[in-house]
Chains A and B, each alone.
Chain A
Amino acid sequence: FREGSSDSEDAELRSVACQSLWNQIKLETEQIQEDLNKQLFDNLVSFLGRSHSQFQEKTTEWTCRMKSREIPAAALILGVNVTDHNLTFRSLSEVLQNNVTPYIALLEAKDCPGIKNLMQKLMGQLMNCYIDVDSLEDDDCVQVSQNRIRCSMTSLINWYESVTKKTDSKTPSKKRTSASRHWQSPPVVVIFKDMESFTTKVLQDFIVISSQHIRELPLVLIFGIATSPMIIHSLLPHSVSSLLCIELFQSLSCKEHLSTIIDKLLLTSRFPFKLGEKVLQVLINIFLYHDFSVQNFIKGFQLCIVEHFYSQPLSILCCQLVDAKKRVNSLSHDQCENIRRLPSFRRYVESQVSEKQIALLTTDSYLKEITQKLLEDLHVYHEHYVSVLRCLHVFTSSLPKHPLGKQIRELHCACLENQVWETEEYKSALQLARMLNKSDLVTMLQQCVEIFVSSSGKEFDKTVEKLKEFLTQFQKLEAEAFQERDVSVSSQKELQKKTDLYHLQKTLLELKESRRSKKLTKFEMLRFEVVDYIDSLVRNYLVPADHKTLHEIVYFNTASVLRGHLNAAPRTALHTALNNPYCYLKNKALKSDGGSISNKAPDICIVYKLHLECGRLINLVDWLEAFSTVVMAVEGPNADAASSDQVDDIIHARFIRAVSELELLGFIKPSKQKTDHVARLTWGGC
Chain B
Amino acid sequence: MLGSERGVVEEWLSEFKALPETQISSYAATLHRKKPLVPALYKVIQDPNNELLEPVCHQLFELYRSSEVRLKRFTLQFLPELIWVYLHLTASRDRQSNGCIEALLLGIYNLEIADKDGNNKVLSFTIPSLSKPSIYHEPSTIGSMALTEGALCQHDLIRVVYSDLHPQRETFTAQNRFEVLSFLMLCYNSAIVYMPASSYQSLCRMGSRLCVSGFPRQHEKHWKEHCGRVVLDPDFMVQLLTGVYYAIYNGQWDLGQEVLEDIIYRAQLELYSQPLLVANAMKNSLPFDAPDASQEGQKVLKVEVTPTVPRISRTAITTASIRRHRWRREGIKLRKDKTQLTVTVKRFVKKLENISDNEAQEILEEKNYVAALGVCAQDPMGNGSSVSGGEVYSFQTPKRSTKMAELASELAQTPGQSVAPDHSECPEKTAKTPQSSKSSSSNKVQQRSKKKEFVSTTPYRLRKRLAAPDPYLESESEYSASCSEEEDEEDQKEASTVLSGRKTPAKMKAASMPPSRNTLARKIKEDKMSNPVEEYFEAHSSSKVLTSDRTLQKLQRRRLNQQTLHDLLKNAPLAYAAEIKELNQQHESLFSKWMLQLHLGFSIVLYGLGSKRDLLEKFRTSVLQDSVHLVVNGYFPSITVRSILNSITEEVLDHIGTFRSPLDQLEFIIKMFKEDSSLKLYVLIHNLDSQMLRGERSQQILAQLSSLPSIYLIASIDHINAPLMWDQAKLSLYNWLWYETTTFSPYVEETSYENSLLVQQSGSLALSSLTHVLHSLTPNARGIFRLLAQYQLENKDNPSYPGLSFQDFYQQCREAFLVNSDLTLRAQLTEFRDHKLIRTKRGADGVEYLLIPVDDSTLTDFLEKEDEDV
Residues 758 to 795 of chain B near chain A (Cβ within 8 Å): 758-759
Q: Knowing A205-B271, A597-B490, A646-B557 touch, does A587 contact B608 (C-beta < 8 A)?
A: no
Residues of A within 8 A of B735 (CB): 299
- Decide: A615 and B330 in contact? CB cutoff 8 A: no
CA distance A674 to B742 in the complex (A): 34
Stretch at the interface among B109-117, B131-139, B288-296, B308-316: B308-316
Q: Which of A1, A65, A296, A663 contacts B596 (CB 8 A)?
A: A1
Q: Knowing A152-B271, A615-B547, A660-B754 touch, does A644 contact B560 (C-beta < 8 A)?
A: no
Residues of A within 8 A of B610 (CB): 577
Residues of A within 8 A of B718 (CB): 664-666
Q: Which of A578, A585, A656, A672 contacts B583 (CB 8 A)?
A: A585
In the complex, how many residues of chain B place their beta carbon closer than 8 angstroms to a beta carbon of chain A?
99
Stretch at the interface among A380-388, A502-510, A624-632: A624-632
- Decide: A652 and B494 in contact? CB cutoff 8 A: no
Question: Chain B interface mostly helix, strand, loop or mixed?
Answer: helix
Does B607 sit within 8 A of A, measured CB to CB?
yes
The residue of chain A having its C-beta at the shortest distance from the C-beta of B572 within the complex is A650
CA distance A327 to B597 in the complex (A): 26
Does B222 sit within 8 A of A, measured CB to CB?
no
Residues of A within 8 A of B176 (CB): none
Residues of B within 8 A of A153 (CB): 268, 271
- Decide: A1 and B595 in contact? CB cutoff 8 A: yes
Give per-residue flags for A609-651: 1 if the beta carbon is below 8 A from chain B beta carbons, else 0: 0100111111111101110011001000000000011110110
Does A440 sit within 8 A of B, measured CB to CB?
no
- Decide: A654 and B572 in contact? CB cutoff 8 A: yes
In the complex, how many residues of chain A place their beta carbon closer than 8 angstroms to a beta carbon of chain B?
107
Residues of B within 8 A of A586 (CB): 579, 582
Give per-residue flags for B630-642: 1 if the beta carbon is below 8 A from chain A beta carbons, else 0: 0000010000000
- Decide: B737 and A664 in contact? CB cutoff 8 A: no
Does A273 sit within 8 A of B, measured CB to CB?
no
Distance in angstroms from B534 CB to nearest chain A CB is: 17
Does B467 sit within 8 A of A, measured CB to CB?
no
Q: Which of B269, B565, B569, B757 contacts A663 (CB 8 A)?
A: B757
Q: Knowing A610-B490, A664-B750, A674-B476 touch, does A585 contact B576 (C-beta < 8 A)?
A: yes
Distance in angstroms from B31 CB to nearest chain A CB is: 44
Residues 653 to 672 of chain A near chain B (Cβ within 8 Å): 653-657, 659-661, 663-667, 670, 672
Q: Which of A296, A570, A587, A624 contacts B722 (CB 8 A)?
A: A570
Residues of A within 8 A of B607 (CB): 568, 570, 573-574
Name which of A299, A581, A603, A621 has the most chain B CB atoms within 10 A of its CB: A621
The residue of chain A having its C-beta at the shortest distance from the C-beta of B376 within the complex is A62
- Decide: B719 and A666 in contact? CB cutoff 8 A: yes
Distance in angstroms from B335 CB to nearest chain A CB is: 11
Residues of A within 8 A of B325 (CB): 66, 69, 242
Question: Chain A interface mostly helix, strand, loop or mixed?
Answer: helix
Does B491 sit within 8 A of A, measured CB to CB?
yes
CA distance A590 to B498 in the complex (A): 28
CA distance A529 to B732 in the complex (A): 52
Give per-residue flags for A63-99: 1 if the beta carbon is below 8 A from chain B beta carbons, else 0: 0011001000000000001110010000000000000
The residue of chain A having its C-beta at the shortest distance from the C-beta of B755 within the complex is A670
Distance in angstroms from B712 CB to nearest chain A CB is: 12
Does B495 sit within 8 A of A, measured CB to CB?
yes
Residues of A within 8 A of B737 (CB): 303, 565-566
CA distance A616 to B596 in the complex (A): 45
Residues 639 to 665 of chain B near chain A (Cβ within 8 Å): none
Stretch at the interface among B66-74, B158-166, B481-489: B481-489
CA distance A655 to B565 in the complex (A): 10
Q: Which of A208, A310, A655, A666 contacts B276 (CB 8 A)?
A: A208
- Decide: A649 and B568 in contact? CB cutoff 8 A: yes
Does B446 sit within 8 A of A, measured CB to CB?
no
Distance in angstroms from A304 CB to nearest chain B CB is: 12
Q: Knowing A619-B550, A667-B720 touch, does A4 contact B592 (C-beta < 8 A)?
A: yes
Give per-residue flags for A674-686: 1 if the beta carbon is below 8 A from chain B beta carbons, else 0: 1111100010000
The residue of chain A having its C-beta at the shortest distance from the C-beta of B570 within the complex is A653
CA distance A81 to B729 in the complex (A): 10
Does B548 sit within 8 A of A, measured CB to CB?
yes
- Decide: A152 and B550 in contact? CB cutoff 8 A: no
Residues of A within 8 A of B609 (CB): 573-574, 577-578, 584, 604, 665
Distance in angstroms from B861 CB to nearest chain A CB is: 16
Does B32 sit within 8 A of A, measured CB to CB?
no
Does B740 sit within 8 A of A, measured CB to CB?
yes
Q: Knowing A584-B742, A647-B557 touch, does A659 contact B729 (C-beta < 8 A)?
A: no
Q: A568-B740, A602-B575, A610-B490 are in contact. List 18 more A-B contacts (CB 8 A).
A: A62-B313, A153-B271, A238-B334, A306-B600, A566-B738, A570-B607, A571-B723, A584-B609, A585-B583, A604-B746, A621-B551, A626-B490, A653-B565, A656-B756, A660-B754, A664-B747, A673-B545, A674-B545
Q: Would you give 22 A-B contacts (Cβ < 8 Å), ordered by A?
A: A61-B310, A62-B313, A152-B268, A295-B732, A303-B602, A564-B738, A570-B717, A570-B738, A573-B608, A577-B608, A581-B744, A604-B746, A620-B552, A646-B557, A649-B557, A655-B758, A657-B569, A659-B756, A664-B750, A664-B754, A666-B721, A676-B550
**What are the 4 closest A-B residue pairs judged by CB atoms, nearest first?**
A568-B738, A4-B592, A577-B609, A653-B568
